[in-house]
Amino acid sequence: MTTEKKIICIICPQGCNITVKGDLDKGEIESIEGFTCKRGKNYAENEFIHPLRILTSSVKVEGASAPLVPVRTRTAIPKELLFKGMEEIRKITLKGKVECGDVIVENFLGTGVDLIASGSVEAK
């Protein structure tokens, strides 16, 4: 089945509006229009077939100077895993000091990407 997605290219400030048509089940692109350069074409192709996002959220911390610490995936993960990722993050409770860059969960959701702290809290 043909799907059409309108994608705003975020590679440079020009923000070209790119339209991609294709079959997502087969991972095939039928047409792509609106890009101005090869980088934008590549971005739109990837965004159509396999969109990725960095997941950002907060994790509960007990016995620390703040009740939450911000976290994020080190790099982007498949967009379809964001909801499941938020559910997993809600189950986590850390204790005491957390430093920015600490690995909170290795290989988060089997993506090969770690969930890391993007802020710090001190132990109480």
Binding residues vs ligand SF4 (CB under 6 A): 9, 11-12, 14-16, 35-37, 39-40
Neighbouring residues of 9: CB distance < 8 A, sequence distance ≥ 6: 15, 16, 17, 18, 35, 40, 43, 44
Bridge partner residues of 77 (DSSP)? 53
Min dist CB 18 to ligand SF4, Å, is: 7
Tell me the residue nearest to ligand SF4 as measured from the CB. 40
Min dist CB 42 to ligand SF4, Å, is: 9
| Residue whose structure tokens are 């890391």 | 116
Q: Which of 26, 78, 49, 55 is nearest to 41 (CA)?
A: 49
Min dist CB 99 to ligand SF4, Å, is: 36
**CB-wise, 34 or 78, nearer to ligand SF4?**
34
**CB-wise, 2 or 42, nearer to ligand SF4?**
42
